[in-house]
Amino acid sequence: MNESFDRTAGDFAGKTTGPNLSPYRHFTRDEWAQLRADTPLTLTIDDLKRLQSINDPISLEEVIAIYLPLSRLLALYVAATQGLFKATQRFLGADDGKVPYIIGVAGSVAVGKSTTARVLQALLSRWPNTPKVDLITTDGFLLPNAQLEHENLMDRKGFPESYDTNALLRFLSDVKAGRSHIEAPIYSHLTYDVVPNQTVSVDRPDILIVEGVNVLLPSRLPRDGKETPFISDFFDFSVYLDADEDQLEKWYVSRFMRLRSTAFRDPRSYFRKFADISDIEAEETARSIWKRINLRNLHDNILPTRARASLVLTKGSSHRIEEVALRKL
């Protein structure tokens, strides 16, 4: 996938791919790790155990090498944005209050977005100028299962058409406007559905992290020239987690098999029917779901947005990030 990433960057420039045409500056793992400087490690092993998702291992060494430099960079970006906002307020003679800095985290199913988002939240909340960092996932903005079934969209869950995009855009618009106590719906991975009448409140945080597979996807351009906002229009920074397709499938199947002995055994689980089938049947089922739904979504909607990210983190076979690509300013 690294080669295709370079081609995408070159094609985006509309010219033949070359080292000076990519909009990204590329770093090896060791080169990126050196950018940590003296940033202190503020997480413990116990913290990481609470933050990581099933089948998405992360070590303190990974935090030190990858996420501490990233948190340092983001702290600089946020401080600069806060300064620009204050200068703009003085220029306009306005007093609009605090505007949150919004970070999008995108990538395929099973690539480890949730762990990355939670680690970033924990690290960024420890910087003095950003003590309040909230995190939401776009899963809460999926249409309810009953509606997806009515519209024959259950096999396209996670595709752009399966979301209440207008509700998500209204939410982000209110957050960016600095409004207080904005409600976001909650999604249950146990019941595989939006939880009725339950929300989480976002109340003017310093930083809001928005995690989801399709958060970098642009809308169709309007033919009449009217304003059509994209979800990513509200982002100040975005991260795309990348990995080889074979590894993504392997991680998805492994997670599915582990869940059979844990969450799938809960009577409330949407996937309860898979808990008692044979290992062979379960693996075949997982691979079928991956190919029919998640791989198609990756090819059609997720991977094409990679070149729109501010930062691309490329994982190797053990979930270890091997390369970092930072968009040039």
Residues 6 or more apart whose CB falls under 8 angstroms from that of 13 comprise 21, 22, 23
Q: Check the annotation: does 53 bind a ligand.
A: no
Q: What's the residue count for the chain? A: 329
Annotated ligand binding at 108? The verdict is yes
**Could you give the count of Cα atoms lying within 13 Å of 12 in the half-sphere of its Cβ?**
18
- For the stretch 31-34, contacts whose Cβ atoms lie closer than 8 Å and that sit 24 or more positions apart, written own/partner, are 32/65, 32/66, 32/69, 32/324, 33/64, 33/65, 33/66, 33/69
Whether residue 103 contacts residue 208, with contact meaning beta carbons closer than 8 Å, is answered with yes
The torsion angles phi and psi of 288, rounded to 5 degrees, stand at -65, -45
What SS3 state is found at 67? helix
Does the annotation place 110 within a ligand binding site? yes
Please return the burial class of 37, using the count of CB atoms within 10 Å of its CB with bins 0-12, 13-18 and 19+.
Answer: exposed
Q: Give the β-pairing of 24-28 and 321-327.
A: antiparallel
Tell whether residue 105 is among the known ligand binding residues: no
Phi-psi sector, 39: left (phi>0), alpha (psi -120 to 50), beta: beta
Cα(144)–Cα(142) distance, rounded to whole angstroms?
A: 6
Residue 238 marked in a binding site: no
In 13-58, alpha helices (H): 29-33, 45-51
CB atoms near residue 148 (< 10 Å): 18
Comparing CA positions, the residue from 160, 161, 141 lying closest to residue 151 is 161
Known binding residue 158? Answer is no
Q: Kind of pairing, strands 182-188 and 193-202? A: antiparallel
Whether 324 has a binding-site annotation, put simply, is no
Residue 114 in marked binding region: yes
- Could you list the residues known to form a binding site, using ranges: 107-114
Binding-site annotation, residues for ATP? 107-114
